[in-house]
């Protein structure tokens, strides 16, 4: 089989990751995350002062602003804001910072498909950079069911998305565990996942949905590993003078 | 869910939010032998585990079985006992309002200075720089400051900082500057005489004989954050040579 994206040979292959942290010097935390040619930058300011009408007595108020690649923000961006905010609200330990505000701004820098997943990953890296207390990290990935071949393709480009029968974005935390029987390595038990966010569009069956979830779950482990490596490199650089 | 294993004590153990401390009956046994003290970056969760809530280096002190995560951020969260640099932004009959870089300005009592009485109290203006101690801080209220050592009642270095220049750095770099063996400060001190005050809220005040020297020192401090010892040495050398 061959994907429309010629740089990849396998249906379950992700595009190369790239990330950068602490790039903006006026934000408390910032990060950029790339899935191949899709790039999103995120900035975090907080815990900071918040307007009295938005103040919550026992928690921090989370505000998410999504800015598109071109033009003014529209309904799609508002939907993304809600998705990011509702996924992050249970994850952020906002009880530690009552009566404050945490403002997250997400800006698309380059768009080649899977923007929401890229935005989620950039956001979590920025939150880690800002030192906002979190219950766990998250990782996101998109997949499609191709309309011609019915194959599940991971991390689609814009070209591949145009040919999709259904598109699915999944976000998982790093606390779920996968159970696999050691006897039959080929057959894995049903995954017991805690999905933080799931968004699907198009026509698909129940089996297709759960198969997509499984495939995306495995791919998100690679995203988690990448986030860990990125944070590790940054911390090692900071500690060089003491520990070298 | 990642359980951390403490194998090599010398390697930096990096944790992310969601990583749990090794289970060994930590929560059930509340006898003195198994009692834990949790510092910043760790929190007990609903499932009775102790989880990291910040990305950083997991540290452990056998004395008192203390565990904490050393993390870095730019935004300051007030904690009692810390020495910080603040800017006066407002004045009332009883308090000064001081911006310390946290989510809300802190309050400094008008009489919280050495030897201050109602008749004889210091007069500070908006914009003055003060080196203070956090006397009270909790998540629900504005922090309170004082410009004296609470046990002795003496100033002990707290008070107004006159002249000089303030830069904003990350909290982790500020903590490293407080280390007496800090490399960049030692190297700078070999070439330029200067005085400095470090606030754990990420603000550093530097004062020297000329503005040029002051700016050089501030730039050197800012640059030193991600450099190793050798790079730091050559960075200071190249800055000093240009002077």
Those residues with Cβ within 8 angstroms of residue A45's Cβ, 6 or more apart along the chain or in another chain: A27, A28, A102, A103, A130, B75
Beta partners for residue B197, in sequence order: B205
Provide the strand spans (E) within B16-124: 37-38, 42-44, 50-52, 56-61, 66-70, 83-91, 95-99, 106-113
Those residues with Cβ within 8 angstroms of residue B239's Cβ, 6 or more apart along the chain or in another chain: B216, B219, B220
Q: Give SS3 for B17.
A: coil
Nearest CA in chain A to B17: A136
Q: Between chains, do B176 and A173 touch, taking CB under 8 Å as contact?
A: no
Asked if B8 has any chain A CB less than 8 Å from its own CB, the reply is: no
- Relative orientation angle of helices B229-242 and B211-223, to the nearest 10 degrees: 160
CA dihedral B104, B116, B165, A47 (to 10 degrees): -10
Q: Which of B4, B12, B18, B224 should one mutate to test binding to chain A, selecting the residue with the greatest count of A CBs within 10 A?
A: B18
Q: Name the one residue in this structure whose structure tokens are 């401390």.
A: B21
Chain B positions in Cβ-Cβ contact with residue A244 (cut-off 8 Å): 228-229
Q: Give SS3 for A232.
A: helix
Q: Is the peptide bond before A47 cis (omega within 30 degrees of 0)?
A: yes
Asked if A15 has any chain B CB less than 8 Å from its own CB, the reply is: no
Q: Between chains, do A49 and B183 touch, taking CB under 8 Å as contact?
A: no
CA A180 to each of CA A190, A214, B175: distance values in angstroms, whole numbers, following the listed order:
8, 13, 45
The total number of residues written for chain A in this structure: 244
Asked if A20 has any chain B CB less than 8 Å from its own CB, the reply is: no
Burial class (CB in 10 A: 0-12, 13-18, 19+), A221: middle
What would the pLDDT profile of A57-67 be if each residue is shown by its tens digit? 999 999 999 99
What would the pLDDT profile of A147-201 be if each residue is shown by its tens digit? 999 999 999 999 999 999 999 999 999 876 444 334 444 444 454 668 999 999 9
Asked if B176 has any chain A CB less than 8 Å from its own CB, the reply is: yes
Chain B positions in Cβ-Cβ contact with residue A242 (cut-off 8 Å): 176, 179
Asked if A231 has any chain B CB less than 8 Å from its own CB, the reply is: yes
H-assigned helices in B15-96: none
What superfamily does domain A17-243 belong to in CATH? GHMP Kinase, N-terminal domain (3.30.230.70)
pTM equals 0.92
CB crowding A133-152: b at 16 or more within 10 Å, else e: bbbbbbbbbbbbbbeeeeeb
ipTM value > 0.85 = yes
Can you give the pLDDT at residue A183? Answer: 42
Nearest CA in chain B to A49: B103
Nearest CA in chain A to B40: A133
Among candidate residues A193, A175, A223, the one with its CA nearest the CA of residue B1 = A175
Burial class (CB in 10 A: 0-12, 13-18, 19+), A37: middle
Report whether A155 contacts A14 (CB < 8 A): yes
Asked if A188 has any chain B CB less than 8 Å from its own CB, the reply is: no
Asked if B150 has any chain A CB less than 8 Å from its own CB, the reply is: no
Can you give the pLDDT at residue B242? Answer: 87
Q: Between chains, do B17 and A133 touch, taking CB under 8 Å as contact?
A: yes
Gap from A30 CA to chain B (nearest CA, Å): 11
Among candidate residues A242, A180, A171, the one with its CA nearest the CA of residue A213 = A171
Query: Which 109-128 residues of chain B touch chain A by CB within 8 A?
Result: none
Nearest CA in chain A to B43: A135
Q: Tally Cβ neighbours within 10 Å of residue A27.
A: 22
Q: Between chains, do B75 and A47 touch, taking CB under 8 Å as contact?
A: yes
Q: What is the CA radius of gyration of chain B?
A: 21
Q: Between chains, do A239 and B224 touch, taking CB under 8 Å as contact?
A: no
pLDDT of chain A along its 244 residues, tens only?
578 888 888 999 999 999 999 999 899 999 999 999 999 999 999 899 999 999 999 999 999 999 999 999 999 999 999 999 999 999 999 999 999 999 999 999 999 999 999 999 999 999 999 999 999 999 999 999 999 999 999 999 999 999 999 999 999 998 764 443 344 444 444 546 689 999 999 999 999 999 999 999 999 999 999 999 999 999 998 888 776 5
From A49, A131, A227, residue closest to B71, measured CB to CB: A131
- C-alpha A19/C-alpha A231 separation (Å) is 10
Q: Is the dihedral of CA A130, B53, B31, B139 positive or negative?
A: positive
From B2, B73, B74, residue closest to A174, measured CB to CB: B2
- C-alpha A15/C-alpha A12 separation (Å) is 10
Through-space distance between the first and last CA atoms of chain A, rounded to whole angstroms: 49
Q: Between chains, do A47 and B103 touch, taking CB under 8 Å as contact?
A: yes
Report whether B139 contacts A98 (CB < 8 A): yes
Nearest CA in chain A to B142: A99
Q: Where are the domains of chain A?
A: 17-243
Q: What are A36's two structure tokens?
A: 């191949």
**What is the mean pLDDT, run by run of 10 residues, along chain B of 243 residues?**
52 89 57 78 88 94 90 95 97 95 96 92 94 96 95 92 96 94 93 96 96 95 93 93 86
Can you give the pLDDT at residue A178? Answer: 43
Q: How many contacts does A have with B, using Cβ atoms within 8 A?
A: 112
Among candidate residues A1, A98, A106, A93, the one with its CA nearest the CA of residue A45 = A106
From A100, A228, A240, residue closest to B16, measured CB to CB: A228
């Amino acid at each position: 089989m061959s994907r429309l994206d010629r740089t990849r040979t396998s249906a379950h292959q992700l595009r190369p990751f790239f990330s950068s942290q602490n790039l903006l010097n006026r934000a408390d935390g910032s990060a950029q995350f790339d899935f191949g040619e899709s790039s999103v930058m995120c900035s975090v300011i907080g815990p900071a002062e918040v307007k009295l009408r938005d103040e919550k007595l026992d928690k921090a108020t989370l505000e998410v602003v999504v800015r598109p690649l071109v033009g003014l923000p529209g309904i799609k961006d508002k939907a993304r804001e809600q998705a990011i905010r509702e996924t992050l609200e249970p994850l952020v330990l906002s009880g530690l910072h009552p009566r404050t505000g945490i403002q997250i701004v997400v800006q698309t820098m380059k768009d080649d498909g899977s923007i929401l997943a890229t935005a989620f990953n950039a956001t979590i890296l920025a939150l880690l950079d800002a030192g906002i207390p979190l219950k766990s990290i998250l990782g996101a990935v998109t997949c499609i069911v191709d309309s011609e071949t019915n194959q599940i393709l991971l991390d689609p480009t814009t070209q591949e998305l145009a040919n999709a029968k259904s598109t699915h974005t999944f976000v998982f935390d790093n606390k779920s565990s996968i159970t696999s029987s050691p006897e039959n390595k080929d057959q894995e038990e049903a995954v017991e996942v805690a999905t933080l966010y799931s968004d699907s569009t198009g026509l698909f069956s129940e089996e297709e949905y759960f198969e997509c979830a499984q495939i995306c779950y495995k791919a998100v482990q690679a995203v988690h590993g990448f986030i860990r490596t990125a944070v590790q490199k940054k911390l090692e650089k900071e500690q060089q003078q003491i520990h070298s | 869910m990642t359980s951390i294993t403490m194998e090599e004590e010398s390697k930096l153990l990096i944790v992310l939010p969601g990583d749990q401390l090794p289970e060994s009956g930590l929560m059930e046994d509340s006898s003195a032998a198994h009692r834990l003290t949790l510092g910043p970056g760790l929190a007990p969760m609903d499932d009775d585990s102790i989880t990291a809530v910040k990305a950083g280096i997991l540290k452990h002190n056998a004395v008192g079985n203390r565990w904490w995560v050393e993390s870095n951020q730019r935004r300051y969260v007030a904690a009692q006992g810390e020495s910080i640099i603040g800017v006066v932004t407002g004045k009332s009959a009883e308090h000064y309002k001081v911006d310390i870089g946290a989510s809300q300005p802190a309050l400094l009592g008008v009489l919280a200075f050495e030897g201050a009485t109602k008749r004889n109290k210091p007069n500070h203006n908006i914009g003055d720089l003060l080196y203070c101690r956090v006397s009270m801080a909790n998540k629900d209220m504005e922090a309170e400051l004082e410009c004296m050592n609470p046990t002795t009642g003496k100033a002990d270095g707290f008070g107004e900082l006159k002249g000089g220049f303030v830069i904003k750095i990350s909290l982790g770099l500020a903590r490293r500057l407080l280390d007496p063996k800090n490399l960049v400060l030692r190297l700078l001190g070999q070439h330029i005489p200067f005085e400095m005050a470090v606030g754990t809220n990420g603000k550093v005040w530097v004062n020297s004989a000329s503005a040029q020297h002051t700016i050089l020192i501030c730039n050197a401090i800012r640059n030193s954050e991600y450099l190793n010892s050798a790079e730091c040495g050559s960075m200071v050398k190249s800055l000093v040579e240009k002077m």
